Amino acid sequence: MSEQAFKDGTISGVIVKALPKYLDERGWLCELFRHDELSPDIHPEMAYVSITNPGIVRGPHAHHEQTDIFCFIGPGNFKIVLWDNRPESSTYQTRQVIFAGNDAPKMVVVPPGVVHGYKSIGPGPGLVFNAPNRLYAGEGKKGPIDEIRYENMADNPFKI
């Protein structure tokens, strides 16, 4: 599949939600997750935070069963690129591009089968929080890893 095969648009099942920062003299607070705002089937099983250095790309990859709940809040800004690789989806072969981070905090919920990756586009490192609904490598890290990697595929159509 070449990059030209994509159509740009919004991908079915992807949720993008602005995350307001509440500022006061102490600094700021930003709610990343609330049980009353997301479906119980995607409630987190774990959480982690990562720092991505300027110009670095993470991904692209997808999951068979896992939903990722990313929060891009800063510091740093990101270009997030998603591609719907689910043949049964009404938005199959749709590419969605989102800019988020310090300048526009957002939550991005990525369902299984949607290929995703992001690039740190700011002058300094960017912080990303993720709260997937599956444990990495299962209970006790003894199960299979639910990832489909695309980085090294010769016909990888995913460009950030």
pLDDT per position as a tens digit, 102-145: 999 999 999 999 999 999 999 999 999 999 999 999 999 999 99
Instruction: Write the burial class of residue 22 (CB in 10 Å: 0-12 exposed, 13-18 middle, 19+ buried).
Output: exposed
Among residues 60, 52, 56, the alpha carbon closest in space to that of 152 is found at 60
pLDDT per position as a tens digit, 38-65: 999 999 999 999 999 999 999 999 999 9
CATH architecture of 3-149: Sandwich (2.60)
pLDDT band at 152 (very low <50, low <70, confident <90, very high): confident
Question: Would you kindly state where each structural domain of the chain is located, as residue ranges?
Answer: 3-149
pTM across the whole model? 0.91
